[in-house]
């Protein structure tokens, strides 16, 4: 990107916000911070940042609530979820609410910058763990004819991409392994994200509540 | 239908709930026997565990403090109501038919009985719900009315009132039929007076008793939780903090201790994982934790599907552990990714690092571990292993195995 990306940082731990602030120097400008759902919604609507870094657990209803409320007013705002909990229910919850990616809080600075940039470009960010969740949630055991079959199934290629990400491959490495371009990998991942958000498969919600964590 | 008895039985015997209900309805044709059995079972059978297991400590606490929106999981089977209604109507129809033919109870008994059963059902249903709520611990205070009302609000009051009125009507009809209408007034007044007297005598006492009990129970639960928490903090967190201070100058040790503590705490707060050694995923995680502790690397285990452990799988886990150790020792990378997938009867485990890599065709002497403990071990147990690596490209070890005859419990 030409100009520095703007980010609003939403987390209820002051220490963590300070840490991220110091790590994201240079290419990224933090234009606002918030520590609960209400203030987050206000700051995000006010500052209109490129990306919102959003903690999954927040006073006032959690990260998913922030995404929902902001998207009612400003549907194009992009969210990257950050979490320390790793509980599938919450991760899938915030993604289904509309976040474009999920990373854990122990991610390194450069990786975080990379993830923010990717989300700002409109792509999705999947950690190996999220890819694992997705594969588990869309495991091919569903037999009942669904109304919208396309949304309820991953294509063979999408499954391959998810498996490689779960195995720890970066997008670049996935592209090389499958002999496709990085852009194509990004397209596949975005399409999986869309299915994850839109699929009404009841299995998906049931799965998420059955399995809270890996 | 009302208390979930049919569904519970169906679950127990593994048949469709429809047939159990049909049996109950057929039972009522024989002088209301089915209804009696139903009510008896409703009283006697233990309530099954709610489908929702207890949340891990961390999530429960986050929910309580409003840090997350709890999952909305409605488990009420919606399409079931029509069928139930049809069954009830069918049952009533047959009952009336029998009545007509003169096989059933005499009309004098039938109507009071029916009304009484309906009234009792309502009352008991209400008590049932109040009890459930008390067990769930949601109603903070339990006054004596609360025993019957629960926290159902107006719906509960109306239900309770309706139940009472139905019951009173049934008794009234019965008395009127046997003694004549004149006796009705006297009996009603006597009953009301007796009930009032009983309530005045026992009310305050029951009220206080139930309040004390509730308070005591709450206090006990809270102090147990506090004790658990304190014990845990002492055992792990405090010890680790002490160790961290002693090693403050040694960055690697500090990182390792912090990582281990993080893992333990995470496990304690969010775990729902099976005990180590029971399933493939749990076993891999245990091995990965060991490698993290010994070799100053982070090992991230991601799993899809899971299987119970057996001998061949433990060989696989040992091979995977060997691959993790190799990656930790030789690759120079400080992060290892482990991915385990169970699909149908095939199990695959990938261990990957982004380190130095090597030429697999020229495994040096120092890497004999690869050939013997990974490739050899997998082949001895009917699996296979593949090592992909090139200098500068990192290394990935792929282990595969096919399970025998366990397809039904394999993946989920």
Nearest CB to A62; choose among B68, B262, B350? B68
Does the pLDDT value for residue B336 go beyond 70? Answer: yes
Q: Report which of B68, B67, B69, B73 is spatially closest to residue B52, judged by C-alpha positions.
A: B73
Q: What is the pLDDT of residue B143?
A: 45
Question: Which residue would you say has higher pLDDT here, B288 or A141?
Answer: B288
Measuring CA to CA, how many Å separate B111 from each of A94, B115, B173, B175, B191? 56, 6, 8, 13, 21
Structure tokens at B138: 């949601």
What does the mean pLDDT of chain A come to? 81
CA angle A141, A144, A147 (to 5 degrees): 120
Tell me how far apart the alpha carbons of residues B266 and B270 are, in angstroms, rounded to a whole number: 6
For residue B341, the cross-strand partners are B304, B348
For residue B80, the cross-strand partners are none
The beta strands (E) that lie in chain A are given as 5-10, 28-34, 51-55, 78-83, 101-104, 125-126
B390-399 b/e (C-beta count within 10 Å ≥ 16 → b): eeeebbbbbb
Q: What is the pLDDT of residues B122-152, one digit of tens each?
A: 666 655 555 555 555 444 444 444 445 544 5
Q: What is the pLDDT of residues B290-308, one digit of tens each?
A: 888 888 888 888 888 888 8
Task: Say whether residue A203 is in contact with chain B using an 8 A CB cutoff.
Answer: no
The stretch A89-115 carries a mean pLDDT of 84
Measuring CA to CA, how many Å separate B325 from each of A157, B331, B392? 32, 10, 19
Does the pLDDT value for residue B254 go beyond 80? Answer: yes
What does the mean pLDDT of chain B come to? 71
Chain A residues whose CB is inside 8 A of the B60 CB are none
Rg value, chain B, Cα: 33
Q: Please indicate whether, in this complex, the C-beta atoms of A167 and B55 are within 8 angstroms of each other.
A: no
Q: Please indicate whether, in this complex, the C-beta atoms of B304 and A132 are within 8 angstroms of each other.
A: yes
Share of chain B above pLDDT 90, in %: 2
Q: What is the pLDDT of residues B392-406, one digit of tens each?
A: 788 889 999 988 754
Most confident of A171-175, B40-44, B301-305: A171-175
Distance from CA of A3 to the nearest CA of B (A): 32
Tell me how far apart the alpha carbons of residues B228 and A179 are, in angstroms, rounded to a whole number: 54
Distance from CA of B235 to the nearest CA of A (A): 22
Q: Quote the longest CA-to-CA distance of chain A.
A: 52
Window from A24-33, A191-200, B93-102 with minimum mean pLDDT: B93-102
Does the pLDDT value for residue B321 go beyond 80? Answer: yes
A57-73 b/e (C-beta count within 10 Å ≥ 16 → b): bbbbbbbbbbbbbbeee
Q: What is the pLDDT of residue A206?
A: 56
Tell me how far apart the alpha carbons of residues B193 and B216 are, in angstroms, rounded to a whole number: 35
pLDDT confidence band for B202 (50 / 70 / 90)? confident
Q: What is the pLDDT of residue B231?
A: 75
Helix axes B5-13, B17-29, angle to 10 degrees: 120
Does the pLDDT value for residue B96 go beyond 50? Answer: yes
Q: What is the pLDDT of residue A110?
A: 84
Q: What is the pLDDT of residue A51?
A: 92
Indicate which of B52, B55, B56, B68 best probes the interface with A, i.e. most A CBs within 10 Å of its own CB.
Answer: B68
pLDDT confidence band for A175 (50 / 70 / 90)? very high
Q: What is the pLDDT of residue B101?
A: 63
């Amino acid at each position: 990107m030409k100009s520095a990306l703007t980010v609003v940082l939403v987390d209820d731990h002051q220490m963590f916000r300070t840490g991220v602030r110091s790590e994201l120097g240079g290419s990224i400008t933090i234009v606002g911070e918030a520590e609960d759902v209400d203030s987050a919604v206000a700051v995000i609507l006010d500052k209109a940042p490129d990306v919102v870094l959003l903690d999954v657990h927040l006073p006032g209803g959690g990260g998913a609530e922030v995404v929902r409320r902001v998207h009612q007013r400003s549907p194009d705002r992009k969210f990257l979820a950050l979490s320390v909990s790793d509980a599938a229910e919450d991760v899938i919850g915030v993604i289904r609410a509309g976040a474009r990616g999920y990373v854990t809080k122990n991610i390194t600075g450069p990786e975080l910058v990379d993830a923010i940039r990717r989300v700002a470009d409109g792509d999705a960010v999947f950690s190996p763990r999220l890819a694992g969740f997705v594969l588990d949630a869309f495991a091919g055991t569903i037999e009942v004819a669904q109304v919208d079959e396309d949304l309820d199934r991953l294509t063979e290629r999408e499954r391959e991409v998810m498996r490689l990400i779960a195995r720890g491959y970066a997008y670049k490495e996935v592209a090389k392994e499958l002999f496709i371009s990085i852009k194509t990998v990004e397209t596949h991942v975005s399409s999986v994200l869309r299915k994850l958000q839109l699929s009404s498969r009841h299995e998906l919600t049931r799965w998420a509540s059955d399995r809270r964590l890996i | 239908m009302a208390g979930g008895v049919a569904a519970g039985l169906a679950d127990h015997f593994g048949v469709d709930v429809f047939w159990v209900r049909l049996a109950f309805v057929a039972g009522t044709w024989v002088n209301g026997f089915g209804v009696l059995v139903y009510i008896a079972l409703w009283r006697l059978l233990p309530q099954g565990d709610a489908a929702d297991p207890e949340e891990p400590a961390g999530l429960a606490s986050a929910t309580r403090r409003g840090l997350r929106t709890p999952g909305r999981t409605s488990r009420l089977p919606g399409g079931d109501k029509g069928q139930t209604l049809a069954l009830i109507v069918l049952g009533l129809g047959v009952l009336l038919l029998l009545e007509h033919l003169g096989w059933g109870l005499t009309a004098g008994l039938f109507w009071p009985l029916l009304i009484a059963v309906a009234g009792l059902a309502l009352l008991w249903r209400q008590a049932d719900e109040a009890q459930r709520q008390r067990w769930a611990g949601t109603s903070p205070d339990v006054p004596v009315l609360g025993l019957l009302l629960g926290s159902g609000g107006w719906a509960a009051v109306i239900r309770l009132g309706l139940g009472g009125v139905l019951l009173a009507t049934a008794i009234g009809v019965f008395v009127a039929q046997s003694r004549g209408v004149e006796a009705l007034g006297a009996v009603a007044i006597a009953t009301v007076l007796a009930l009032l007297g009983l309530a005045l005598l026992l009310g305050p006492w029951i009220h206080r008793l139930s309040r004390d009990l509730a308070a005591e129970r709450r206090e006990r639960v809270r102090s147990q939780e506090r004790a658990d928490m304190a014990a845990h903090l002492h055992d792990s967190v405090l010890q680790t903090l002490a160790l961290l201070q002693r090693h403050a100058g040694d960055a690697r040790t500090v990182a390792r201790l912090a990582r281990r503590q993080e893992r333990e705490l995470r496990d304690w707060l969010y775990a729902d994982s099976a005990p180590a050694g029971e399933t493939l995923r749990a076993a891999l995680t245990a091995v990965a934790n060991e490698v993290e502790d010994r070799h100053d690397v982070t090992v991230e285990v991601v799993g899809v599907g899971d299987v119970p452990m057996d001998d061949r799988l433990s060989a696989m886990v040992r091979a995977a552990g060997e691959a993790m150790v190799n990656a930790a020792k030789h690759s120079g990378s400080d992060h290892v990714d482990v991915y385990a997938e169970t699909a149908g009867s095939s199990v695959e485990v990938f261990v990957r690092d982004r380190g130095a890599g090597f030429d697999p065709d020229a495994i040096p002497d120092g890497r004999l571990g690869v050939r013997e403990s990974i490739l050899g071990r997998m082949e001895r147990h009917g699996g296979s292993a593949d090592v992909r690596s090139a200098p500068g490209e990192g290394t990935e070890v792929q282990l595969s195995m096919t399970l025998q005859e366990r397809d039904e419990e394999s993946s989920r």
